[in-house]
Structure 1
């Protein structure tokens, strides 16, 4: 008779024996520091999410809702959407009053009438929904997620088009505005439903987005859609025409036939979206097996007390893994070899998962005897650095997961590959290239979590943005750069031989501060 363990081999994995002392002063210090970082992040999030009360009142007088409220009203009650790019354009566009919170576009993945969908909503309270470069990148990312996962996409359009003062940033390169419409066409060919509702302005090239969608609805006296607005029409062809006559909901439904539906209120449009999603005969079974989800044996709250406050201090990455995998159980692959990278099989949310994680503490590498058979002392290897042996181990593990169709999770805390005479003569370039090659060609879903540092080629090997991870998550401690600010400053200073010691110190301080801001 088969036991439960035989039914699920993963159940035979033993929980990780945690050494985290949650009563120690060091743990409390680390926990307090992380709480401070989370508080700062939450304040920033609140600032982005909450529009001014005065602006909301102005919308209400016109019987309109803020962008996030529109999304909330089409989502299934009680469902929790995942927002993509909440902090996009943070601290950018400082020359524009108010900046560009969330890049002027809200993107969420959530359930509508029981079906998972990507939802894109222009925020008319951010420069009338006008697009800048980051807005375009965010919209392209939303379409990319829809195409990769074959998810329906809902467009809630209310945009004045391209911000003309910044048009050079958004036109005419490959990943610029035109790519949006190319993706509309590609999604249509893939059979991905695209539902568009124009809630306000839809101007110039932006009018092609709803026009190329599967269905298009407009709202009486709220919606207007045209390639050129009244002022441009007057300047170009001398015609004097009002917005409603030129491209209002009535005209596009009754005369041009561009729109398919017309509603009197936004609430009616929300009901339409939900109805259309309910009608979709559109379900795709998951290609990945799933068993019952099990909570970690250790409290995930303890994650806050693992990372040291000082980036030069050490920690055990396995303590982090143990607090998010099912049952805190995982099976390390090659645990005695290439120990600056942890590779392990586990389950996450009931799904089988392969974990590739940078170890956050120094390790010892066992060395072979010399030519006379005499034992050699172990080699000390720095944590957060990829050596030849760890690169080879990671490449082997990724191939295994790819072969077995096991999704991959990459936990980043890497300063790069090892350098120096010994590393170069040992073939670190070839070993690193093999790691990157195997990871880039993996066809299973890949998810990246930036725990602390993600520097240089280490970012590439660990499935950075350029390597098509399905999603990237970043902790408040995350930093992405070519290299650490201090090392960058020291490297540049080698070329500043004319500076005095005092000038070098001041220069280094300025450069490190600049790197930290970026």
Structure 2
């Protein structure tokens, strides 16, 4: 591999303008992430009086001190459905990959302090995504549960996916992936099956309430009068029904028990130790000024690699053949990875080049990293005659069927079928993150406005009356709508990615993700036909 020679001028006016624009975008998504934290802290005294730890306090007690935590889908549901102020970002839960008793785990903490931890449609999508990540990477799941259940205003949108969540729990258990749940508070109706389907259940004395029907519903349905403890309290479930396995005295004690359960699990048989590696030759801070504030301006994806690759070293694949699509080999914190990036639209030649490169990485079991910055596939008479549909389909076939871990970072625009070809959300990348300046949409906002104007104008011409004012308004309104719904915050709210990241965290994050993928290949869980059941 040869070191990349950067041509970026970090002292230029353009660099400083780009840097300021990127810092503003970072500020926007950090402010959005802070909204549920602020909402949680506003209620601290109320929960202190009940003896409860706040959701993020529970998370901190669960995780190993000082170990990294990758929060996932922190902005799920941001300003969607009934979340008017953005405080519902996260979809009712704090989720991510962290270390518990020395073991890497998928962690879910219900955020009961914001909207009662109720689950919105985005929150349900997030829960299913966490299960998918746990299954693909063979991560034990630890859940700290205390939720108001489904948001009844949107129950019709969460009911069927909720069933999938329960089916996933059963299949995770059968796949040999342990699930540990601490029931900190109420768990009613469908919410009772989440701990019921877990492999290990911890309950809190005087605090847990788990039942298919709570006292009010029970009285309304059958006329029976029962108190919460005899109906579904922790002592009853641990001493009589057998639905609980461990009885804790308070929140902290319950989390201690959960950590001990994880510590009792057999460790992975093998932990990958990457070889010694060197840091990039160029400061990662320069990524802030690298991406043009004007998305129409091009830049070389190699400039990004110079700041995230070990020793800024690259083995460029077919560098003289279709330079608009980049392919090459690098290492990140010792992990080999094949990179596909965009220096322009995807042409027939670029599609063929990337498809070949993907097959080579599949042959050598090399993970793939996609750096999105594409307007999509090239259009026009010439490329149609060269078979852009045929060659583009070949690339999509390769992306869809490659079995090596695929990681996507949306560093700029990701438009149309280019998003598919670069392993967007619909192609199930193992992980997908976005930079705060990024945009994802079927096409650019300006182009969308013009397309609708042209189509509508043709209809008006056939009718014999063209209204220029109406056409102008249609074009402007369409562009404005597309612009507002294609930025990083809007896309992350819909779970089109696993989170927005500061560009300066890219190398560190990729190093951890590649390590997670590598470890998953070495873990051999003991599978069975059925999951673990209580008898």
* TM-score in terms of structure 1 length: 0.90
CA distance in 1, matches of 2:278, 2:251: 41
Partner in structure 2 of residue 119 of structure 1: 107
- Distance of aligned partners of 1:462 and 1:95 in 2 relative to their CA distance in 1, 3 Å threshold: closer
Is 1:510 the counterpart of 2:494? The answer is no
CA distance in 2, matches of 1:461, 1:166: 33
Contact (CA 8 Å) 1:342, 1:357: kept in 2 or not?
yes
CA distance in 2, matches of 1:325, 1:244: 57
Partner in structure 2 of residue 426 of structure 1: 386
- Deviation of 1:502 after TM superposition, in Å, equals 3.8
Partner in structure 1 of residue 30 of structure 2: 42
Partner in structure 2 of residue 136 of structure 1: 124
Report 1 or 2 for greater relative contact order, CA contacts < 8 Å, sequence distance ≥ 6: 2
CA distance in 2, matches of 1:338, 1:403: 23
- Deviation of 1:97 after TM superposition, in Å, equals 7.2
Partner in structure 2 of residue 346 of structure 1: 330
CA distance in 2, matches of 1:284, 1:346: 27
CA distance in 1, matches of 2:60, 2:30: 20
Contact (CA 8 Å) 1:89, 1:101: kept in 2 or not?
yes
Identify the match of residue 59 of structure 2 among 68, 71, 89. 71
- Deviation of 1:95 after TM superposition, in Å, equals 6.2
Partner in structure 1 of residue 186 of structure 2: 201
Contact (CA 8 Å) 1:289, 1:351: kept in 2 or not?
no
Contact (CA 8 Å) 2:365, 2:404: kept in 1 or not?
yes
Partner in structure 1 of residue 282 of structure 2: 298
Partner in structure 2 of residue 253 of structure 1: 238
CA distance in 2, matches of 1:53, 1:424: 57
| 3-state DSSP of counterpart to 1:236 | helix
For residues 384-432 of structure 1, the C-alpha deviation after alignment (integer angstroms, 9 at most, x for no partner) is x100000000000010111001100000011111111111111111100
- Counting only pairs closer than 5 Å after superposition, residues 213-228 of structure 1 correspond to structure 2 as 213-228=198-213
Contact (CA 8 Å) 2:40, 2:113: kept in 1 or not?
no
Contact (CA 8 Å) 2:280, 2:308: kept in 1 or not?
yes
Is 1:319 the counterpart of 2:322? The answer is no
Report the RMSD for the aligned CA atoms in angstroms.
1.5
- Distance of aligned partners of 1:284 and 1:92 in 2 relative to their CA distance in 1, 3 Å threshold: farther
Partner in structure 2 of residue 370 of structure 1: none
Is 1:283 the counterpart of 2:268? The answer is yes
For residues 282-320 of structure 1, the C-alpha deviation after alignment (integer angstroms, 9 at most, x for no partner) is 31425x772123211100000011111111112111111
- Counting only pairs closer than 5 Å after superposition, residues 24-39 of structure 1 correspond to structure 2 as 24-39=12-27
For residues 427-470 of structure 1, the C-alpha deviation after alignment (integer angstroms, 9 at most, x for no partner) is 11110000000111111100000011111111111111111111
CA distance in 1, matches of 2:84, 2:307: 42
Contact (CA 8 Å) 1:93, 1:99: kept in 2 or not?
no
Partner in structure 2 of residue 3 of structure 1: none
Q: Please identify the structure whose Cα radius of gyration is greater.
A: 1
Q: How many residues align?
A: 478
For residues 8-35 of structure 1, the C-alpha deviation after alignment (integer angstroms, 9 at most, x for no partner) is xxxxx22101000111111111111111
Deviates more, 1:427-436 or 1:50-59: 50-59
Name the structure where helix makes up a greater proportion of residues: 2
- Deviation of 1:49 after TM superposition, in Å, equals 2.9
Contact (CA 8 Å) 2:32, 2:89: kept in 1 or not?
no
Identify the match of residue 407 of structure 1 among 349, 367, 373. 367
Q: Which ranges of structure 1 fall in alignment gaps of 5 or more residues?
A: 1-12, 360-382
CA distance in 2, matches of 1:75, 1:455: 38
CA distance in 2, matches of 1:237, 1:229: 12
Contact (CA 8 Å) 2:372, 2:411: kept in 1 or not?
yes
For residues 474-496 of structure 1, the C-alpha deviation after alignment (integer angstroms, 9 at most, x for no partner) is 00111111111111111111122
Identify the match of residue 11 of structure 2 among 19, 23, 32. 23
CA distance in 1, matches of 2:87, 2:9: 44
- Deviation of 1:88 after TM superposition, in Å, equals 0.7
| 3-state DSSP of counterpart to 1:347 | strand
- Deviation of 1:100 after TM superposition, in Å, equals 2.1
* TM-score in terms of structure 2 length: 0.87
Deviates more, 1:87-96 or 1:507-516: 87-96
Contact (CA 8 Å) 2:326, 2:342: kept in 1 or not?
yes
CA distance in 1, matches of 2:314, 2:193: 49
CA distance in 1, matches of 2:367, 2:237: 46
For residues 48-104 of structure 1, the C-alpha deviation after alignment (integer angstroms, 9 at most, x for no partner) is 333343311111111111212211111111112000000111111246676522100
Contact (CA 8 Å) 1:101, 1:126: kept in 2 or not?
no
